[in-house]
Chains A and B, each alone.
Chain A
Amino acid sequence: MTTATLSHNKLAAPAMPGWLVLVFAVLLAGFGLSCLAGGAQPALPGVPTLERSVKAAYLSKFLGYVDFAETAASAPLNVGVLAADDIAAELTRITAGRPVNGRPVQVRRLRDGEPLDGLEMVFIGADASRPVQALRNAAEKSVLSVTEMDNGLQQGAVINFRLVDDRVRFEVSLPAAEKGRLRLSSRLLSVAYHIQKDKP
Chain B
Amino acid sequence: MPIDNSYIYKMLPVDNRKIAPVALAVSLALAVGTASAADMPPGDIADLSLEQLENIVITSVSRQEERLANAAASIFIISASDIRRSGVRSIPEALRLAPNLQVSRVDARNYAITPRGFNSPFENKLLVMIDGRSVYSPLFSGVFWDAQDVVMEDIERIEVISGPGATIWGVNAVNGVINVITRSSKDTQDGLATISGGKNDRDGTVRYGGKLGGAGHYRAYARTVEVDDTYTAGGVNTQTGFRRRQAGFRADWDLAQGGLTVSGDAYQGALGQAGTKDIKISGANLLSRWTRKLSDESDLRLQLILDHTERNQPNAFIERLDTIELEAQHGARLGDSHNIAWGAGYRFSRDQITNTQSGFLPAHKDLHWANIFAQDEISLRDDLRLTLGMKVEHNTYTGAEYLPGVRLGWSLDPTQLLWANVARTVRAPSRIDRDFYAPVVPVMIGGVPRYIVGGGPDFQSEVANVAELGYRIQPSPQVSFSATAYYAQYDRLRTLEPNTANLPNTGLQEFRNLGDGHVRGIEMWGRWQPVDSWRLNAGFVVQSVRSGLKPGSKDATGSNGLATNDPPRHWLLRSSHDLNAQTQFDWTLRYTGALPNPHVPAYYELDMQWMWKPTPNVDVALIGQNLLHASHPEFGALPGRSMFERSAQLKLTWRF
Contacts and interface: CB of A to CB of B under 8 A. Distances in A.
Interface of A: 1-9, 11, 13-14, 16, 20, 24, 27-28, 31-32, 34-36, 38-51, 53-54, 57-58, 60-61, 65, 90, 93-98, 126-127, 129-133, 148, 150-151, 153-155, 162-170, 187-188, 191, 193-194, 196-200
Contacts of B253: 200
Nearest to B558: A2
Nearest to B214: A198
A121 to B, nearest CB: 15
Contacts of B60: 49-51
Contacts of A53: 28-29, 32, 45
A133 B42 CA distance: 39
A-B residue pairs, 6 tightest by C-beta: A47-B33, A2-B558, A198-B214, A13-B602, A96-B37, A130-B296
B238 to A, nearest CB: 23
Nearest to B213: A198
Contact of A153 (B254, B296, B532, B566): B254
Contacts of B1: 41
B58 interface: yes
Contact of B293 (A151, A164, A167, A194): A151
Contacts of A40: 23, 26-27, 30, 531-533
Interface stretch (B87-95, B221-229, B346-354, B542-550): B542-550
Contacts of A94: 44-46
A54 B27 contact: no
A187 to B, nearest CB: 8
Contacts of A193: 54, 189
Contacts of B549: 1, 3
Nearest to B569: A13
Nearest to A162: B187
B646 to A, nearest CB: 15
B46 A43 contact: no
Contacts of B293: 132, 151, 154-155
B597 A4 contact: yes
B399 interface: no
Nearest to A51: B58
Contacts of A16: 604
B532 A154 contact: no
A2 B559 CA distance: 7
A154 B255 contact: yes
B513 to A, nearest CB: 15
Contacts of B189: 193-194
B630 interface: no
B283 to A, nearest CB: 29
Contacts of A54: 25, 45, 53, 56, 58
Main secondary structure of the interface of B (DSSP, over half): mixed
Nearest to A13: B602
Interface in B578-601: 579-580, 587, 589, 591, 593-594, 596-597, 599, 601
Given A3-B549, A151-B254, A61 B53 contact: yes
A31 B594 contact: no
A9 B577 contact: no
B257 interface: yes
Contacts of B412: none
A58 B594 contact: no
A93 B59 contact: no
B258 A151 contact: yes
Given A6-B568, A169-B54, A46 B33 contact: yes
B556 to A, nearest CB: 8
Contact of A167 (B58, B589, B593): B58
Chain B interface residue number, banded: 35 or more
A48 to B, nearest CB: 7
A187 B50 CA distance: 9
Contacts of B20: 167
B383 to A, nearest CB: 15
A57 B45 contact: yes
Contacts of A13: 569, 591, 593-594, 602
Contacts of A36: 531
Given A41-B30, A50-B56, A168-B54, 18 more contacts: A2-B559, A4-B564, A4-B566, A4-B596, A8-B597, A36-B531, A39-B4, A40-B27, A46-B33, A51-B62, A90-B32, A95-B46, A126-B67, A129-B296, A166-B81, A191-B50, A194-B186, A200-B253
B29 A50 contact: yes
Contacts of A194: 186, 189
Contacts of A38: 23, 533, 580
Given A43-B529, A196-B215, A32 B534 contact: yes
Nearest to A30: B577
A43 B531 contact: yes
Contacts of A8: 596-597
A34 B577 CA distance: 10
Contact of A1 (B54, B184, B544, B558): B558
Contacts of A28: 575
Contacts of B27: 39-41
B16 interface: no
B32 to A, nearest CB: 6
A95 B215 CA distance: 35
Contacts of A151: 254, 257-259, 291, 293
Contact of B477 (A27, A49, A65): A49
A9 B589 CA distance: 23
Given A2-B559, A16-B604, A97 B40 contact: yes
B586 to A, nearest CB: 11
A45 B529 CA distance: 12
A60 B46 contact: yes
Interface string B553-572: 00101110011111011000
B214 A167 contact: no
Contacts of A93: 32, 37
A68 B152 CA distance: 44
Interface string B17-41: 0001001011111111110011010
Contacts of B366: none
Contact of B54 (A46, A51, A97, A191): A191
Interface centre among B54, B62, B257 (most CB of A within 10 A): B54
B51 interface: yes
A31 B534 contact: yes
Contact of B257 (A6, A133, A155, A191): A155
Contact of A166 (B33, B57, B602): B57
B51 A191 contact: yes
